[in-house]
Amino acid sequence: MLQRVKFYIEYNIILQVKFFFQRMFRGYSDDEVWDLDNAILRFTLPRLKKLRKITQSFPCNFIEENTEEGWDKWKVMLDKMIHAIELKLKDEYWFMDNEHRETDEAAVIEGMSLFHEYFDALWD
């Protein structure tokens, strides 16, 4: 049993070194490809939070609304996108016995739909 644990630790260290060099030379590692959806969400979340904090614009189709209402609407949408990504990155979200599963899933569907719909507006 101890030999298996030792082998696993050594193998894991070798993989981490391999992934480090892959990220250094390729810009990404194999473990990011194996879990690409998660890697994209982890990349996106801090940038989306920063955009929410510093945004100076909102989508063009909000222009007919009052400027203040347009800002508020856009910030609420960004908050929903952020919340959806945070939920998807939590381990509990994927458990079938999650007591908040239905509300979490509805929030994720709404937030990811907004992310898709306003993807081209995610700039400042």
Q: Which amino acid is at 67?
A: T
Q: Where are the domains of the chain?
A: 1-34, 36-121
Residue 118 to residue 78: CA distance in whole angstroms: 10
Say which residue the tokens 């306003």 belong to: 118
Do residues 52 and 82 make contact, with C-beta atoms less than 8 angstroms apart? yes
Residue 1 is given by DSSP the state -
Q: Which residues, 6+ apart, have CB-to-CB distance to 59 below 8 Å?
A: 74, 118, 121
Give tens-digit pLDDT for 69-103.
778 888 899 999 999 999 999 877 676 677 778 88
Asked whether the whole model's pTM tops 0.85, one would answer no
Give pLDDT tens digits along the chain (124 positions). Answer: 777 877 778 888 999 999 999 999 999 888 888 889 999 999 999 999 999 999 887 777 776 666 777 788 888 999 999 999 999 998 776 766 777 788 888 999 999 999 999 998 888 7
